[in-house]
Amino acid sequence: MAKINAGSAVVNVLKNWDVDHVYGLPGDSIDHIVDALQKEQEAIKFIHVRHEEVASLSAAAYTKLTGKIGVALSIGGPGAIHLLNGMYDAKMDKVPQLVLVGQIPSDLANSDYFQEVNTSAIFEDVAVFNKEITRPEQLPLIVDQAIRTAYEKRGVAVVIIPDDIPANKIVDTVERVKEAKKPTQVGLNTPDLEAAVALINESKKPVMLIGTGTKKAKAEVLAFSERFDIPVMSTLPGKGIMPDEHSNYLGNIGKIGTKPAFEAMQEADLLLMVGNDYPYGTYLPKDVKCIQIEIEPSRMGKRHDVTVGIVGDSKEALAYLTAHGEEVTNRPFLQACTKNMQTWWKWMEEHMARDTSPIAPQAVIKQMQRIADEDAIFSIDVGTSTVWSTRYLKLGQKNDFLVSAWLGTMGCALPGAIASKIAYPNRQVISLQGDGAFSMVMQDFATAVYYDLPIINVVLSNKQLSFIKYEQQAQGQLNYGIDHGDINFAKYAEACGGKGYRVENTADLEAVFTAAKADNCPVIIDVVVDPEAAPLPGKIVMDEAKGFAKFEIRTALEEKRIASMPPLKDVMRQFF
């Protein structure tokens, strides 16, 4: 039989799994794999990022968007360590990822050689598959097994490859056509479905909480809600599954969610948890019946006591319930929720219309919304950017909303935008981040320029870590360690070869965003925003109110000044 390099056999495995690009940095301990990729660059494109963290964050974002496995590659030692942040993002948001990591040559193992670290031990917690190659013949087989496991367990698979292994000749046994294995699907149980129908029929104030497990069931979520007149709310990463402007949708639940969602949840007599693992139990209703639809049996009843548990696919389960339940066309509870939501959107429109100096972040969201295409992809960073986008952006079912949901890692928006444009080159991509988050990964704006990826990157500049600022205040602490210097990101964009705009006046926002949409290149819109713009909780609870009061008192007594606080009208609206 014919022989090929083990590294080339790996590339054939990747092709079989429909991998068409890899994010990473080359280097001595992985160069034989990179050389194999070079020979197949028409089939698999190597995306050279500037930092390995961006490689794994981009790979995770790519999978969140497409469902296809993302691949990151790096040398061992320092490069491998840099990958961890994006790997944990993939792990915690439950998306498959393949990580190919170099290692020192086999004959130098355990000799305290240059850059030698215990890579396998480092990845033990983050990976669902974690193996180091010892013989060339293993390499394609192990990579194939790694990808299968990543898909099956929806997690990170790591293959550690000593530098000398890929260059060896092996028998070419990789089949050229192979059907990707789908994750195992659990069948629905009819008695459970019938019991759920009975609960739905008898409830007066049901609410539905959806998560990413319903992304492929958008039509079914809509049909279910409309047939039974049930108000719907979503977890953060579930934004966009239900259209924001639908009369049955109450927005997100939680600290950065809406007041109507909070109030509806507290009034409910039946909770339907569908395709989510929502962790904040204080926002869920107490002592009410619960129907949970969940694909993973181990998560059944994890967050709330379950009256009826349906193990299986949410798309199939919702279709059954919709077909078999008694239609409701006039539910007073939904009407009250809808009225509350109309009031909420009126408040949000007031915020977005603010013509203040410095610029209100909400006014920036208004312009993002105005220029956004019907199928625009929004890649959102962690911090106040998450609050402003979640609360004010109105998404439809053709949009995508990318966040680092469970890990909540700063610096995720730019890598997500890069991955989005690679995955869908014909769709508009807009990222939103604060200056603190963007400065963590700003070097990879140069990656977007190099690969000619037209992305609009909006940076909210206020020279501080705003979300941390208000976290400190909510706990009654004085603000400390949150300030940083100013960077003119517009000039930085130009220095990298992209287009940059710096906006300091609200009156200039519309023209700048219009121009940025027309630019066919990577863009940074650097907006100097009000550092006192407060990301208030949708519903301010008593503990938070006490914390803010304590902060005010400490500021007056210890710093001899009156703290700048949000408008009293906003505070009162969201407290009572």
Concatenate the DSSP letters of all residues of 228-276 into one string.
HT--EEE-GGGTTSS-TTSTTEEEE-STTS-HHHHHHHHH-SEEEEES-
Q: Please tell me what DSSP assigns to residue 529.
A: B
Query: Residue 40: which pLDDT band, with cuts at 50, 70 and 90?
Result: very high
Q: What is the mean pLDDT of residues 145-160?
A: 96
Q: What is the pLDDT of residue 26?
A: 93
Query: Residue 107: which pLDDT band, with cuts at 50, 70 and 90?
Result: low
Are 250 and 258 spatial neighbours (Cβ–Cβ below 8 Å)?
A: yes
If asked whether residues 158 and 214 sit together in one domain, one would say no
What is the longest distance spanned by two Cα atoms in the chain?
A: 83
If asked whether residues 402 and 547 sit together in one domain, one would say yes
76-106 pLDDT tens trace? 999 999 999 999 999 999 999 999 999 877 7
Percent share of the chain, pLDDT over 70: 90
Alpha helices in 442-541 (DSSP H): 445-450, 466-474, 489-496, 509-518
**CATH code, domain carrying 38:** 3.40.50.970
The domain in which residue 536 lies consists of 354-575
Q: Which residue has the tokens 């170099």?
A: 102
- More confident call, 552 vs 60: 60
Distance CA(347)–CA(367), nearest Å, equals 17
If asked whether residues 423 and 447 sit together in one domain, one would say yes
If asked whether residues 139 and 196 sit together in one domain, one would say no
302-352 pLDDT tens trace? 999 999 999 999 999 999 999 999 999 999 999 999 999 999 999 999 999
Q: Which tokens go with 264?
A: 């509806």
Evaluate whether residue 177 is within a structural domain. Answer: no
78 C-beta neighbours (distance < 10 Å), count: 12
Q: What is the pLDDT of residue 177?
A: 46
Q: Residue 111 pLDDT more than 90? A: no
Total domain count, the chain: 3
Query: Residue 566: which pLDDT band, with cuts at 50, 70 and 90?
Result: low
If asked whether residues 334 and 483 sit together in one domain, one would say no
The domain boundary, picked from 340, 371, 388, lies at 340
**CATH code, domain carrying 228:** 3.40.50.1220
Query: Residue 543: which pLDDT band, with cuts at 50, 70 and 90?
Result: low
Average pLDDT, the chain: 90
Q: Residue 513 pLDDT more than 90? A: yes
Q: What is the pLDDT of residue 576?
A: 46
Phi–psi pair at 6, nearest 5 degrees: -60, -35
Query: Residue 187: which pLDDT band, with cuts at 50, 70 and 90?
Result: confident
Query: Residue 554: which pLDDT band, with cuts at 50, 70 and 90?
Result: low
